[in-house]
Amino acid sequence: PGRLPSAYLPLVPPKAQLFLGPSYALLREEFVRLRPLALARRARRRGVKRVLVSMGGGGGSKPMECALEALAQVGFEGAVDIVGGFQSLGMADQALKLERLKGPCTLHTQPDMAALTYAADVALGAAGTSVWERCVLGLPQFVRSIADNQRYLLPFFPHDDFAAFWA
């Protein structure tokens, strides 16, 4: 996400056709099918009652810890669905992080990401390929780069409200 054709020119034959940008995002069919329902749901929904926190599998536990800390600091009382990036913490550390949150928390290890994304009102997530899944379902999101290849996407996602979280 966010890469320009010039980044690929030294890597591909001169006559190669590049398929870049949101028009060519690789999306599973369940996200495409849910799009009209998700957009209609978001048009009716007011407030934030459910947060999806998904940091992918490669960022370690620090981005997840920061996301949960941000939710605790603002006093979020709704439901939190947590996917990936948290399992590397020990069970005691997980419990300590989760007890600071006021609402119900669910740790997902083999989730139906389309269903979780559809159900969420906002997401805190890594700037990887799941950004496209969240976008296609119209889910507002705060995005954090947790890998070098993700930094190109950040200019597309302003982050005023959780500035300290993204520092």
Per-residue pLDDT tens, the chain, 167 aa: give them.
Answer: 667 888 888 999 989 999 887 788 888 999 999 999 999 999 998 889 999 998 876 556 777 888 888 888 888 899 999 887 555 555 556 666 677 788 898 888 888 999 999 999 999 988 888 888 999 999 998 887 777 766 666 656 555 444 444 33
Cβ atoms < 10 Å from Cβ of 76: 18
- Do the Cβ atoms of 26 and 157 come closer than 8 Å? no
Alpha helices in the chain (DSSP H): 29-44, 62-73, 91-99, 113-119, 130-136, 163-166
Give the pLDDT confidence score for residue 163 in this predicted structure. 40
Structure tokens at 12: 């591909």
Closest to 86 in 3D by CA, of 146, 151, 13: 146
Using CA atoms, how far apart are residues 79 and 84, in angstroms rounded to an integer? Answer: 17
The length of the chain in residues reads 167
What is residue 24's predicted lDDT score, i.e. its pLDDT? 83
By the 8 A CB rule, do 167 and 148 touch? no
Q: What's the confidence (pLDDT) of residue 133?
A: 92
pLDDT at residue 162 in the model: 47
pLDDT at position 167, please?
38
> What pLDDT score does 165 carry?
40
